[in-house]
Amino acid sequence: MSLEYFFSGTIGLFFGICFAYSTHFSSEIFFVSLFVAFVNILIFKFSRRKIGSQQVRLPIFLFIFFLFVCMGILLGQNSVSKNLLHTNNFAEFISRNNTFAGVVSKTKDTENSQQLLVKLDTKDLQDTFKIKIITGKFPKYKAGQGLSFKGKITEGDVLLPEVTANLNKSFDMNEYDTLENIDGEVVFPEIQIVDEKGNIFYKFIHLKNKFVQILNEVSPRSVAALSAGTVLGDSSLFSKSEIDNFRSSGLSHIIVLSGFNITVLAIFFGMIFLSLRVRLSTRVILTILSIILFIIFVGGEPSILRAGIMGSVFLIATIFGRQYVAKQFLFLAAFFMMIANPKIAIYDISFHLSFLATAGILYIVPILEKYKFFEKRNSQNKFIKNIFEIFKVTLAVQIGVIPYTMFTFVKFHYLEFLQIF
């Protein structure tokens, strides 16, 4: 199948989901898109009789695009409906109970408290609910502990389709909570530890927390905080004012794990195995295994898991030695990931960064290779060649993600900018 058809289907699905989540007239857009798709398939059908199907590419391209816009709108509206039903079920559940039980799936230390992500025990209900517990610094809780607690749970924001202005907004952790399906929050409840699970994933979370603790003990706090944030996405060593400064300066993405981290990790391990003269197929497999271990180590969050999938798509495609196949895999992976969870098209910054970073490698690296600056380095010794290869790929990734990071993370005041002129 031609690459532009993969492109048109994926982009159409993305826009359809965006319309469903962001506008009040997505139904009208659905019928208009369906009509345009029907018109283009008619144009394609009658035109190919005269000039041949190979020369009539634009109508079929537009047909696929608008058809998947319709599909995206249906998926988005279905997702919104499920969110509303889930919210209603959660409100009914917390109204019928005073005491709750659940398992801690994630912990985070803040400046003056602990934050626990708890998966509630819903007994016979088909729905599963996750809440955030804010409690004191002591006693320390850890992932895998079964808790029983009593307190008033405050419901989170209901996700409704609305038109929002994103121009002057930096990264917002409330959107991250929405994507992670955090349903509510309870502050300083009465907590009792019931039992403890011996799951291997919880042990990896303990190991990560221990690593951050040791890092804090053996190095200055500022160094430990920045290292933990950039490598593990752990911002627990930062104070509230420091985190606010990161948001104000547009650097919030540094302390949140994203697809960019996965891409850099893949480049790092790939170059190490290349220097060890490991053959291509083995090198790709070892790099993917390294990514899997890293994902498990940092807690296996859905956002970083999706970023790992996007990075692995590129690595698997390299086994075939065909960049064209890698581009097809990229759009195909994005397509099925949006079908599985339409919300990532709107809220998952990690998904956006991983897609753009991988696209930067696939589309921008071939352009950079044409410049003499990189051509001359091909004749240097192997170490210098690998250094420039890392620089070239990293530069391509940065070019791919910088426009998005500026728009998403940087607070840019457009009115003040226009006043300059």
How much is the pLDDT for 324?
64
| pLDDT for position 380 | 59
* Spatial separation of the C-alpha atoms in residues 137 and 6, rounded to whole Å: 50
Parts of the chain with a pLDDT under 70: 1, 48-56, 124, 156-180, 197-199, 249-254, 258-260, 263, 300-303, 314, 317-324, 374-383, 409-421
- CA 172 from centroid of its chain's CA atoms: 14
pLDDT of residue 390: 75
- Domain locations along the chain: 3-92, 98-197, 202-253, 257-414
Query: What pLDDT does 68 receive?
Result: 95
Compute CA distances 42 → 34, 39, 46, 96, 251, whole Å.
13, 5, 6, 56, 49
Predicted local distance difference test score (pLDDT) of residue 110 = 74
Q: Please tell me the predicted confidence (pLDDT) of residue 418.
A: 45
Contact 60, 40 (CB under 8 A): yes
Q: Give the whole-angstrom CA distance, residue 59 versus residue 54.
A: 11
Each residue of 213-244: pLDDT tens digit?
888 888 888 888 888 887 777 777 887 788 77
What percent of the chain has a predicted confidence (pLDDT) above 70?
Answer: 78
What pLDDT does residue 292 have?
Answer: 85
The length of the chain, given as a count of residues: 421
Q: pLDDT digit string (tens) for 276-316?
A: 878 877 888 888 888 888 887 777 666 677 777 777 776 77
Three-class secondary structure of residue 28 per DSSP: helix
Amino acid 46: pLDDT:
77
DSSP 8-state symbol, 72: H
The matching CATH number, chosen from 2.40.50, 2.60.120, 2.60.40, 1.20.1050, for 98-197 is: 2.40.50
Helix (H, G, I), strand (E, B), or coil: what is residue 198? coil
Going from the C-alpha of 294 to that of each of 71, 138, 233, 240, 284, the distances in angstroms are: 35, 29, 12, 27, 15
C-alpha separations of 235 from 80, 107, 223, 335 in Å = 31, 12, 12, 31
